[in-house]
Structure 1
Amino acid sequence: MVDPVTEKFTVQVCYATSLREYLQELTVEQGCTIEQAIRQSGVLDAIPGIDLALHPVGLYGKKKPLETVLRARDRIEIYRPLVADPKESRRKRAEKKAQPG
C-alpha cells in the first residue's frame, strides 16, 4: 500500500543459491526502479558476485529490464545464470531415448 503522505511503499528483493537465500523488504519512493531498489537493498554487498549486467532480474518470475518502475508490494527477483541451456538438455535427452539398446 502506498502511503499518501510520503508516497512511499514496500517492496521485496530476493536472491537464492543452493546454499543461501537473501530476502530483504525495503521502503522505496514512487518512481523507484528495479535497479535502484536492488542497490538500496544491500544484496550486492551481502552476496559478492552478483553482476546486474549479467544476472537477469524480474518481478514474480517474469523477466523485466532494470529500468522498470516498481509498484507497491512488488517482489524483485535476481536470477542466477543457467548452468545448461534447457533446449540443448531436452535435445540430448530425446536423442538418448531414441537410440536403440
Structure 2
Amino acid sequence: MTDAAAVGCEVCFMAPGLCFRRALRLPAGSSIGAAIEASGLLTLHPQADPVGQGVGVFSRRRSLDDAVQDGDRIEVYRALVADPKSARRHKVARQREAEPDRWVRR
C-alpha cells in the first residue's frame, strides 16, 4: 500500500480510568466502522458501544458508514454519567448552602 492510497487516523475512547488511543493507516475510502474494528477497541474494551452511543470526528457526530479522511480523530462516545443541567443545578444548590451570604440579592 502506497501513501497515496492510505489515510491516517486515530481512534479514541475515554472512560473513567481508561484512555484508549490508537493511530492507524487504512486504505483510502475506509469507513469509520472499519477503522474502529481495525483499532481493536471492541476486543480490548467491550463496554465501548459505537452503535448505541454513537461516534464522531473532532466532536462532530458522524455515521459508522462515513469515509475516514486523512488526519481524522475518531471518537467513540459513551453514555453520560449525569444530565449536565441537573448536575449544574446540584452544584449551585451546594454552593448556596456553603455560602448563603453570597447569594443574597442586594
Q: TM exceeds 0.5? A: yes
1:23 is aligned with what amino acid?
A: R
Aligned partners of 1:71, 1:65: CA distance in 2, in Å? 13
Tell me the SS of whatever aligns to 2:36. Answer: helix
1:69 is aligned with what amino acid?
A: A
Aligned partners of 1:82, 1:41: CA distance in 2, in Å? 23
Unaligned runs of 5+ in 1: none
Regions of 4+ moved over 4 Å: 90-94
- Structure 2 equivalent of residue 57 of structure 1: 55
2:3 is aligned with what amino acid?
A: D
- Structure 1 equivalent of residue 36 of structure 2: 38
Cα-to-partner distance string for 1:60-81 (whole Å, 9 max, x where unaligned): 1111111111111111011111
Q: 1:3 and 2:3 equivalent?
A: yes
Tell me the SS of whatever aligns to 1:87. Answer: helix
Aligned partners of 1:9, 1:69: CA distance in 2, in Å? 10
TM-score by length of 1: 0.79
- Structure 2 equivalent of residue 14 of structure 1: 12
TM-score by length of 2: 0.75
Unaligned runs of 5+ in 2: 101-106
Aligned partners of 1:92, 1:20: CA distance in 2, in Å? 26
1:77 is aligned with what amino acid?
A: E
Aligned-residue offset at 1:11: 0.6
RMSD between aligned residues: 2.2
Aligned partners of 1:91, 1:18: CA distance in 2, in Å? 23
Q: 1:67 and 2:65 equivalent?
A: yes
Percent identity reads: 32
